[in-house]
Amino acid sequence: MTAQLIDGKAVAAELKAHIREQIKAKIMEGKRPPGLAVILVGEDPASSIYVRNKREACEQVGIHSIYHHLSADIKEEELIALIHALNHDKKVDGILLQLPLPRQIDANKVLDCIDPQKDVDGFHAYNLGRLAQRRPLLRSCTPYGIMLLLDHIHQQYKGKHAVIVGASNIVGRPMALELLIAGSTVTVCHRFTHDLPYFVRQADILVSAVGKPEIIKGEWIKEGATVVDVGITRREDGSLAGDVEFEAARKRAAWITPVPGGVGPMTVAVLLHNTLRAAGYINSHQDDFGLR
Ligand code: GUN
């Protein structure tokens, strides 16, 4: 078997085109463009690239992005003061605080300060709690983007074993909740898991979000599985590597995401979608991608 590629770049482009049309239509009705505040603390090279991509995507669809680039030695209180100001700013519908943050800042404490209605990353305890209760409002971008990709290939969920590798607050945990809502039996593997290959071999749906190049061996992949690779790491030679041994996995899987061009573009597309939601452009409880 040779797996078919799940083309996240193409699906994200479709979603972005749809978002652009929605914004255009609302502006014709006299509404102001949605506003997204983007906060980057420090100079982390990967974060700088992610933030640039997000701001460019805003521009492409007609979202007004307001950029705050803060020094790496900023005090926690100053960052919290900025967030309070953005919470009260009527032109700001969404607040994106790029992670990770420098060591002197307690990320949870700061994330707790973001108004949950402006939490377009879906990282606030309120939004994660809503997802845990299977009545999500703003959903974390990467896991939700992955669900949209899986829907796109008409993935069956009920009765399937979904195995997630990596238990972060950003990807692994909300991913487990999404797949649980969809009806899969979910296993989450993490640094204390004994015998990772044992679990990966059982996966009908495998989502790996570790960030260690080729930690998932191709020979572990179940025949006919769907493989989603969230990991993206730059090797010393400058090339990008996913968590999964791509060529070997491709021989066994039915579907697989490439790195790059798989999950990454979907994270950005969902951020834009969440900003529309936060701005009241999209009826909550009804998703507008027509997919899920
Ligand atoms: N760092 C890594 N992924 C993300 C993300 O999706 N959002 C934010 N804010 N920070 C991140």
Atom 2 of ligand 1, nearest CA residue: 99
Q: Annotated binding site for NADP(+), which residues?
A: 166-168, 232
Q: Of ligand 1's atoms, which has the minimum distance to the CA of residue 100?
A: 1
> Which of 102, 126, 150 corresponds to the end of one domain?
126
Spans of the chain, pLDDT less than 70: 284-292
Predicted pLDDT at 291? 44
Predicted pLDDT at 282? 83
Buried b or exposed e, range 96-127, using 16+ CB within 10 angstroms: bbbbebbeebeeeebbebbbbbbbbbbbbebb
Domain extent, residue 75, equals 29-126
Q: Annotated binding site, which residues?
A: 166-168, 232
Catalytic, out of 7, 16, 22, 54:
54
Based on the fold, state whether residues 111 and 147 are members of the same structural domain: no
Based on the fold, state whether residues 252 and 147 are members of the same structural domain: yes
Based on the fold, state whether residues 173 and 226 are members of the same structural domain: yes
Based on the fold, state whether residues 110 and 160 are members of the same structural domain: no
Query: Residue 98 Cα, ligand 1 centroid: separation in angstroms?
Result: 5
Based on the fold, state whether residues 220 and 184 are members of the same structural domain: yes
Query: Residue 155 Cα, ligand 1 centroid: separation in angstroms?
Result: 26
If one counts the domains in the chain, the total is 2
Predicted pLDDT at 42? 98
Predicted pLDDT at 18? 96
Predicted pLDDT at 283? 72
Predicted pLDDT at 1? 82
> Which of 126, 157, 175 corresponds to the end of one domain?
126
Catalytic, out of 98, 117, 155, 204:
98
